[in-house]
Structure 1
Amino acid sequence: MAQTIDKTDSIASLKVKNNYQIQFKAKQLIIPVALIGYGIIGIGSDQLEAFNFEIREEVKENIDRKLSIDDFSQYAPVASVYALGVLGIKGKNNIRDKTIIVATSYLIMGLTVNSLKKITKVERPDGSGLNSFPSGHTATAFMGAELLYQEYKDVSIWYGISGYVVATGTGVFRMYNNRHWFTDVVAGAGIGILSAKAGYWLYPTINKLLSSKKNTNKKSTFIPYYDGKQVGFGLVTVF
């Protein structure tokens, strides 16, 4: 007896696979909000500020010279999201959807970090400026780590773990180089994780805005940018 295949069901299944997203659940907020909350509370807490100084003194005793590895390692996790795809390892989303999610996450993270820096005006440990809180390098690294985890956790959990190891190392080096306090790094980690999750939560809405029913051949892609002071994105449309 011949078996019939419902093409509609097949197409629907394909769409579900290519449009992977994280469903919002309140419990997903616990860890990032706790990290951000710790950092914010630390700004006005004498006890946590004292803890910041203790950690800095411990680090300073072991510093031989500054290492700028954190300037590069912050981008390693998000770069890996694309690099694994180039190597033929398929993640949850195709490159277009992946880019929309990455760009959305990057925009949320950048705006949040820069807004808090201007509002809080916390002095850096090395006295170089009043923009210590939160750590942008750490936020970028943890955002990439969460994106890497979500995209490839079903292929191998080790991709996500490696991303978080690199992100944690980035935060440690920010303190090692006397550029950030412990509370800056903790808050940056929380912001990065939450921004990545928000990128997935907002994807369906943004995808609808970018899709055009009138022109099915039109494809749009976000291209994010961040120059250390400003964050933004460009929209590239191909007809």
Structure 2
Amino acid sequence: MLLRRITQHVKDQNWFAVFIDFIIVVVGVFIGIQVANWNEELAERVLEQQYLERIYFDTERLITDIEDGLEWSEDQKASQVVVLNSFRSGVLRPQDKAIFERGLAFFGYSPIHTRESLAVQELKSSGRMAIISDIELRELIGLVEQRLSTTKEHALHMKENRRKHLSEVSSHWQFIESDFKPKGITKIQYDFDTLANNQEFINRLSQMRAMFQIQRRNAKNDQDDIRQLQKAVVEVLGYTPQRKNNQ
């Protein structure tokens, strides 16, 4: 329709009308491009919001995992003190026997969790990190991811060292049973007097406890970093995401 009108105006040499038609075409194309850009930008912002909410829920999960681990390790921390104090003094008090055996059986154990946001990993693998428009938040995400990765590598290294110590330590006692619960029931068979006079054995326990304390400290640092990220996500969103019934 418009093309036929322009052609007719050219035939009639109505250059003013041709100019007006040209302007209409240009403006129409411009508006069409702008509308497409606005729709694309709107879709990007909706997708960004969805990713930020997913990152928030990931931080919730990670914080809960760390809290559970720290709660479990709190019992370990107390039992390790009983184990080392008993060996160093050469006296195992009857009232300490249960916590002593649980502590010795799981001495230095610290679970290694994969502390990463699935939403962030998805953005990284798809090359779409730039969808997060807030530059400071994007930089914070990268920083926290780097710290969590470093902590994980450190934990894996210490796990290997602990495994070497444990192969020596566990040869001095025999596992009988356990419900594997914090403050639960654990039974092992051992010769306390012989172990209390084995300084190399006690030194290994001390080294394992030092590694355990480092991992516990690292877990708390991870928790602080993740909470910082969670707070930043809420600030960018302008609200605290709430889980839907089917989530």
- Same fold flag (TM > 0.5): no
State the structure with more CA Rg.
2
Shorter-chain TM-score: which interval?
0.3 to 0.5
